Amino acid sequence: MLKMNHLSKVYRTHLIETHALRDFSIHVREGEFVAVTGPSGSGKTTFLNIAGLLEEFSGGEFWIDGVDVRGMNDDQRSRLRNEKIGFIFQGFNLIPDLNLFDNVDVPLRYRGFDAAERKRRIEENLTRVGLASRMKHYPAELSGGQQQRVAIARALAGSPRLLLADEPTGNLDSLMARGVMELLEEINRQGTTIIMVTHDPELAARAQRNVHVIDGQVTDFESEPQLRAPAHGSDTAAAVA
Amino acid sequence: MFAYYLQLGLHSLRRNPLLTALMVFGIALGIGTSMTSLTVFYLMGSDPIPWKSDKLHAVQLDNWSAEEPYRAPNEPPDQVTYLDANALMQASKADLQAAMFKVVWPLQPENPEIKPYSAMGRATYTDFFAMFEPPFKYGGPWDRAQDKENARVVVLSRNTNEKLFGGEDSTGKKVRLNEIDYTVVGVLDKWQQRVKYYDLTNGAFNDPEEYYVPFTTAVELKTRASGNNSCWEASPKPGWEGYLASDCVWIQFWVQLDSPARVAEYHSFLDNYVNEQKKLGRFPRPLNNRLPDVNAWIVDQRVVPSDAKIQVGLSFAFLIVCLVNTVGLLLAKFTRKSGEIGLRRALGATRGQLFMQHLVEAGVIGVSGGLIGLVLTWFGLMAVRGLYADLNNVAHLDWFMVLTSVALSIAAAVLAGLFPTWKACQITPATQLKT
């Protein structure tokens, strides 16, 4: 589903060069639930941004769903992002003056679905996260956990193959965090690949596989996901090169 | 997607009403100011009779002094002498022709309740009506025979007819002008010209005449023109006959020539005429006859004053100031929206889609500013009419200027929105999404 080989990312100013990722290699297979952990500044978020085609990388190779990302222009990357990737952010990132229906509608508009198809998908996904009755409510009228559920509905509305979650429970209390995590596990069980960046070892432990990043490199990984009870009982075979 | 962008634009503008109001009002003020001066400028110089302006020609004959031109560098007089007007009318070489001059006579109404008053009229030939096409409400113009007979006939303006006859059909009734009774043969309908191009000598934007009488009648009654009278040498004889025989110019002369070939023919006729006159000792200057059509005439006679051009320039400079202000406000607004822009990029929007979305938002500001600007323009023109009575006819909005205002305001807002929109679309989405 996602494969990076010897990827590097360098931030340059006129004074210094910062290597955010160096010789970074990872292979996430379809249906996996991978947790990426590591200390602050280790490159977790940079990895997630590059994986989500939100940032360009400096060197190496990168495929998503078999598509070579190198050399793609901005429009092609936007289209690929829209069709194959869903995002869940720590801060939910809902648009405050749009109601839940319109928030979930955003990625579908750029996908070019007609009104009936958009409505069907919005209702289906808000129902899936248990908020169908609050479609006309605004984000400020919801709790943090509910807002994150809306963000998940938005991420799922376009039927992405890959879900990228950046500290999805970072702004939630433990009860809400548990609810969101159970929802992610449920989504993964239904076949969506999930890569989740987290600081929380307890959450990371619930993923099929952990990838530890330090100083922009993968330093520790489990090559045998079967060792842990898989969230998705597939034949996933993780390989981190 | 346009409908979606429009919906988002309206949503975004409602989000911060104060900022939106500032931007809209800034554009409205700029549009109101620039369109007020542009409307006056445009209507001053616009074609007053577009369907036939290329067929109507003012006749200019250079009978001026050998020592100096009528106007530098080498302009012929803008009027002709009685001698020449009479000769050209007798020759009748144009498709239509009319000599004319302004008269002011006391008008003595039959109705004792209306006091006599001094009324401005025009002495001219019957062709005047066919050439300049004033609309008739009742009756029509006098005929050519009446021109020859110095007939006591009159065509009234609508206002004069309302004043004297309560707006009823007055054809056949008598009107007393300067102690002489004239029979009403026609009454004009409303005829409000923006520019009184056929006689610019006493101001380009004056009201139309209150009545029209035959030229020959006014001359027979020894009526002096109430407009400009310019002479470069003393009359050869004293008195009225001397005045008619002089080289003083005081008559406007217009011809209608229905094709370019006819213009060339008539020009040639004028040259021959002047060459013949030269043999009689007149026209001491080199041949300099001109036949400007209506639009060329308006330009030649400087109907649009140069200070009007400066005023338009200044008002557009003010519009630019307003736009710079809008650029600043849009920059602030779009910068505040960078989080949302980053999010939309993350959710699959291309830079082009976001660019269009924000341009539509800027366009919404432009349309709103333009509509309010139109209202301000309307007030501005009302103020112009109040301050300058002579601009009454040109300080009005017409459809062309309304559409121009809206187009200008949209263009202005989109132009103002280009840089902030481009800047907003350059943000890296990843930096906007981390909380």
On the CB side of B315, CA atoms within 13 Å amount to: 22
Residue B337 is predicted with a pLDDT of 84
- List chain B residues with CB under 8 Å of A158: 348
**For the segment B282-316, what is each residue's pLDDT rounded down to a tens digit?**
999 999 999 999 999 998 888 877 788 888 899 88
Rounded Cα gap, residues B12 and B23, in angstroms: 13
Residue B339 is predicted with a pLDDT of 86
A105: tokens are: 């509608």
Mark yes or no for CB contact B344/A82 under 8 Å: no
**Between B308 and A95, where is the model more confident?**
A95
B152: tokens are: 């006591």
For chain A, say whether B353 makes contact (Cβ under 8 Å).
yes
Rounded Cα gap, residues B204 and B294, in angstroms: 13
Our CA-based measurement puts residue A241 at a distance from the nearest CA of chain B, in whole angstroms, of 26
Q: Which of A56, A82, A93 to mutate to test the interface with B (most CBs of B within 10 A)?
A: A93
Residue A220 is predicted with a pLDDT of 62
Our CA-based measurement puts residue B400 at a distance from the nearest CA of chain A, in whole angstroms, of 38
- Give the predicted TM-score (pTM) of the model: 0.66
Please identify which residue in the block is written with the tokens 């060329």: B296
B229: tokens are: 């009278």
Mark yes or no for CB contact B346/A91 under 8 Å: no
Rounded Cα gap, residues B36 and B405, in angstroms: 10
Which chain A residue has its CA at the smallest distance from B354's CA?
Answer: A110
For chain A, say whether B344 makes contact (Cβ under 8 Å).
yes
B237: tokens are: 């004889």
The answer to whether residue A149 scores a pLDDT higher than 70 is: yes
- Residue A158: enclosing H or E segment and its boundaries? none
Q: What is the 3-state secondary structure (H, E, C) of A86-149?
A: EEECCCCCCCCCCCHHHHHHHHHHHHCCCHHHHHHHHHHHHHHCCCHHHCCCCHHHCCHHHHHH
**Between A14 and B342, where is the model more confident?**
B342
CA dihedral A191, A193, A198, A201 (to 10 degrees): 60
B163: tokens are: 């004043």
Residue B433 is predicted with a pLDDT of 66
Rounded Cα gap, residues B3 and B360, in angstroms: 10
Rounded Cα gap, residues A101 and B198, in angstroms: 67
For chain A, say whether B336 makes contact (Cβ under 8 Å).
no
Query: Are B58 and B297 a contacting pair, CB within 8 Å?
Result: yes
For chain A, say whether B428 makes contact (Cβ under 8 Å).
yes
User: Judged by CB atoms within 8 Å, which residues 64-93 of A form the interface with B?
Assistant: 74-75, 78-79, 81-83, 87, 89-91, 93
**A61 exposed, middle or buried (CB, 10 Å; 0-12, 13-18, 19+)?**
middle
Helix residue ranges per DSSP H, B140-259? 144-148, 158-165, 215-220, 239-245
- The shortest CB-CB distance from B350 to any of A52, A75, A158 is to A75
Residue B279 is predicted with a pLDDT of 93
Name every residue whose Cβ is closer than 8 Å to that of residue B345 and which is 6 or more positions away in sequence: A54, A78, B351, B354, B427, B429
Please identify which residue in the block is written with the tokens 């370019």: B260
Name every residue whose Cβ is closer than 8 Å to that of residue A182 and which is 6 or more positions away in sequence: none
Our CA-based measurement puts residue A87 at a distance from the nearest CA of chain B, in whole angstroms, of 8
Delimit the domains of chain B by residue range: 2-47+305-434, 56-292
pLDDT grade for A232, boundaries at 50, 70 and 90: very low
Which chain A residue has its CA at the smallest distance from B435's CA?
Answer: A91
For chain B, say whether A54 makes contact (Cβ under 8 Å).
yes
User: What three-state secondary structure class fits B192?
Assistant: coil
A&B contacts, CB < 8 Å:
72
C-alpha Rg value of chain B to the nearest Å: 30
Along the 435 residues of chain B, how does pLDDT read in single tens digits? 889 999 888 888 888 899 899 999 998 999 899 888 888 888 777 788 989 999 999 999 999 998 899 998 999 999 999 999 999 999 999 999 999 999 999 999 888 888 999 999 999 999 999 999 999 999 999 999 999 999 999 999 999 999 999 999 999 999 999 999 999 999 999 988 778 899 988 777 788 899 999 999 999 999 998 888 899 887 778 889 999 999 999 999 999 999 999 999 999 999 999 999 999 999 999 999 999 999 999 988 888 777 888 888 998 899 889 888 888 888 888 888 888 888 998 899 998 999 999 889 888 888 888 889 889 988 988 888 887 766 776 677 778 878 887 888 888 878 888 888 888 788 777 766 664
Angle at A166 between CA A161 and CA A167, to 5 degrees: 130
Q: What number is the average pLDDT over the span A25-35? A: 93
The answer to whether residue A231 scores a pLDDT higher than 70 is: no
Residue B125 is predicted with a pLDDT of 97
Distances in Å between the alpha carbon of B142 and those of A188, B129, B343? 97, 9, 79
Query: Are B288 and B62 a contacting pair, CB within 8 Å?
Result: yes
Our CA-based measurement puts residue B15 at a distance from the nearest CA of chain A, in whole angstroms, of 8
Rounded Cα gap, residues A25 and A37, in angstroms: 15
**Nearest one of B248, B249, B245 to B236, comparing CA atoms:** B245
Q: What is the ipTM of this complex?
A: 0.87
Residue A225 is predicted with a pLDDT of 47
Summary mean pLDDT of chain B: 89
Our CA-based measurement puts residue A206 at a distance from the nearest CA of chain B, in whole angstroms, of 24
Rounded Cα gap, residues A143 and A149, in angstroms: 10
